Amino acid sequence: MSQRLQLGPDTLQELYQHLDAASAIERAGMPKHLQMVVQAIHSDTHFHLQGQHDQCRTRLGTRPGDCWADFIFSFLWARLLHELEAELRPFDV
């Protein structure tokens, strides 16, 4: 996707560095037990169906609303917007 958007060869390296860095909630000083709560919320998808008495848990594959897909999309979109901003800066727009 990065190549199709012509974002440059360093984009994936920046993404990996970003993923290796401490999370925003860790940098903000959130207590470890609350960080783990946030992680749990973003790790699993739980749902139930009407008339069904047990719960379902998604374990494999991507799905609409997948937090990793959202994260990667947001990262690439931000990169694209930063490049657009840099191109428009000389025009003082």
Residue ranges per structural domain of the chain: 11-91
- Hey, what amino acid is at 51? G
In whole angstroms, what is the distance from residue 21 CA to residue 28 CA? 13
The residues, any chain, with a CB within 8 Å of residue 67's CB and separated by 6 or more, are 42
Please give the average per-residue pLDDT across 23-44, as a whole number: 84
What percent of the chain clears pLDDT 90, i.e. is strictly above it? 10
pTM: 0.48
Q: For the chain, list the strands marked E by DSSP.
A: 45-47, 56-58
pLDDT band at 32 (very low <50, low <70, confident <90, very high): very high
Average pLDDT of the segment spanning 30-35:
92
- 51-84 pLDDT, tens digit each: 877 766 665 555 555 666 777 778 888 888 888 8
Whether 84 and 76 have beta carbons less than 8 Å apart is answered as no
User: Contact at 8 Å (CB) between 63 and 47?
Assistant: no
Structure tokens at 93: 């727009």
